[in-house]
Amino acid sequence: MAGRARARHVPLLSAAIVVEAIWLPRRLFLSKRPMMSSLSEGTAAKWETVLAETNAADVALARAEWQPTVFSDRPRRVALLELEPRWQLQNLRLSFLRNHAVEPTVAILRPFLAYAGLAADVSLSAYDDSLSNPPARVADVHVVWLDASRYTSVERHDAALALGTRLGELRGMLEGPMLLVESPPEIPGAGSLNAVLQEAATRLPDVHLFPYASVIRSLGVDSIETRPAAMGTQVAGEAAMRAAQHLGLGWIPAMVRPRLKAVVTDLDNTLIGGVLGEDGARDVVTEGGYAQIRERLLQLHREGVLLALVTKNDPVDVARLFAQRAELSELGRAFAVIEASWRSKAEGVQAAAQRLHIDVDSLLVIDDNPGEVAAMAGALRDPWFVVAREPELTTRALALHPGLVAVRHDVLGSKRAADLVAAERRRAELPEAADAPDYLRSLQMVAHLSLNAAGDRARASELSRKTNQFNTTLRRFNETDVEGYIAGAGRCAVSIRLRDRFSDSGMIGVLFARRDGDLAVVDEIAVSCRALGRSIEGVLLDAALSRIVIALDCARLVIPFTAGPRNEPARTWLTAVADARDDGSYEYRRRRGDGSAASLELHWEDDGARRQTA
């Protein structure tokens, strides 16, 4: 049975021929297209749509061709250097502070970063044990990579103490997140160095620890360079390759972009071996590499990534599969959405995204059929795709893919699945409620607001970076930026938490403000979509804005707005509660009560004594 299932896997090359047959007429059509200026507006728009869909499909398939190379467990340098991206790259600045040769790793970063859609301008410091001369003050990522063996045994204790102090100084002078590379335990002095790095990553804003030791653990002795004096480093060639793979695909992208919110997977020959409708629930393959895929998906679920299943199968057959195969039951429960139908995959993925309340560009979609991937890429707006070949490669893709690395525990993500269930229960109850205000009161909503809470730094940055719909300026503040509002003179930050009888949503909103003359300027308001739909965002924001005016000792409050592709909900709220100014910002006017405050109990956490209940 396993042989039958595996035989159905179509090699990408032959499948790509089928895809070419689908897309070639469209390409020929495009190659003969007239000048846009000679077409009517409507016809030109159709041409542009066809062109965009074709380009998106080409990019998805081009990336699929890269996947066996970049996700390999033993990437080959020659194969990597032959890869040339056929998609646009975002430029970023990388700064390396080091005391040994990192060039072998830097030299092979390019293809891994390119898969993630990035191109790096790299600056290297001189070999400098004291990190006294950073190569750049401003960078998108500052990587600190030290060789512990360069400090003598007598120097190590004093060097560790000095390094902890120096990292704090660097955090104060460098703009951009810092990534500290831990040392493998085989290197002399690694223990004391790693303790300092771990403490700095815990204590300092936007400082993170790259787990180099675990990345190279499977290499064993091959990870240590046998000629360190000649090579200028303890990092062997295989270890440099593995470090470049994990840095370029996972960790560096995680420093500059929000994490993906959901993984959407196909079923046949992707999550299971075989075709459910032909083989039946009892005969599909679930062991071996498919068990590894399940475990990785469950790990992502535990980290807060939402899971969805989109499959062209009978819903009854899918339900029977998860009921009859005990090894699949845990994963079946972990799926927040199951879309089993005969409609197109693009329609299924779009429906799943809507049910998850997230944008399609926050998804990673896994499917074994390149033709389906091409069609989805043409119809949807910028999701990521993995073409499932052998399950072992799919598992590695789920471990390494850009957007899936969590540099910190995803606090917001861990609340998301429970909030989805709670939202469904609220929606189910609302039509049965005789009186909407009474229903809102029955939710027993309690909000806790905090002013300048140092412990909220990481979560506030997550909200700023991930919120797209109710976000006034899309500034995407990192942890260092947030720290500046929490601790800086003439600045403040307000964080908002919310719970009701269905769920504890945790932190759902944050506001960042500063004093500018006699004005309080709110640089960003970000409210998670998990909080919307309960008619209380106006009450919460009014309480927060009123406190900001007091904290900054200002009589008036101004809220700038920057339009983005999806933040119309923020603009709608602003136009209802504030007056437009000539410079494009809005001046807030104190809200008049509309009765919605009666459904909410509100507390300020910083003084404990204050309580507001309407």
Q: What percent of the chain has pLDDT over 90?
A: 60
In whole angstroms, what is the distance from residue 324 CA to residue 224 CA? 48
Q: Which of 65, 71, 124 shows the shortest CA–CA distance to 93? A: 124
pLDDT 10s digits, 217-247: 877 657 777 777 778 888 888 899 999 999 9
Q: What is the pLDDT of residue 596?
A: 53
In whole angstroms, what is the distance from residue 50 CA to residue 44 CA? 10
In whole angstroms, what is the distance from residue 350 CA to residue 365 CA? 11
Q: What is the pLDDT of residue 413?
A: 56
Q: What is the pLDDT of residue 173?
A: 93
Report helix, strand or coil for 589. coil
583: which 2 tokens? 């410079």
In whole angstroms, what is the distance from residue 341 CA to residue 222 CA? 49
pLDDT at 21 over 50: no
Which of 111-115, 149-153, 456-460 shows the lowest per-residue confidence on average (mean pLDDT)?
A: 149-153
Q: Parallel, antiparallel, or unpaired for β 335-340 and 207-210?
A: unpaired
pLDDT 10s digits, 330-363: 999 999 999 999 999 999 999 999 988 888 999 9
Task: Name residue, tokens 């196909």.
Answer: 266
Which of 25-39, 131-145, 473-487 shows the lowest per-residue confidence on average (mean pLDDT)?
A: 25-39
- Please give the residue that has the higher pLDDT: either 226 or 608: 226
Contact 360, 383 (CB under 8 A): yes
pLDDT band at 404 (very low <50, low <70, confident <90, very high): very high
In whole angstroms, what is the distance from residue 563 CA to residue 574 CA? 12
Which of 20-34, 409-423, 515-529 shows the lowest per-residue confidence on average (mean pLDDT)?
A: 20-34
Average pLDDT (108-114) is 97
Q: What is the pLDDT of residue 32?
A: 46
Q: What is the pLDDT of residue 140?
A: 95
In whole angstroms, what is the distance from residue 207 CA to residue 144 CA? 10
pLDDT at 453 over 70: yes
If phi > 0 it is left, if psi is from -120 to 50 it is alpha, else beta; for residue 288 that is left
What is the 3-class SS of 344-413, one letter each residue?
Answer: CHHHHHHHHHHHHCCCHHHEEEEECCHHHHHHHHHHCCCCEEEECCCHHHHHHHHHHCCCCCCCCCCHHH
Residue 553 class from Cβ within 10 Å (0-12 exposed, 13-18 middle, 19+ buried)? exposed
pLDDT at 598 over 80: no
Q: Which of 171, 143, 348 shows the shortest CA–CA distance to 255? A: 143
pLDDT 10s digits, 143-202: 999 998 887 665 667 777 788 899 999 999 999 999 999 988 888 888 888 999 999 999
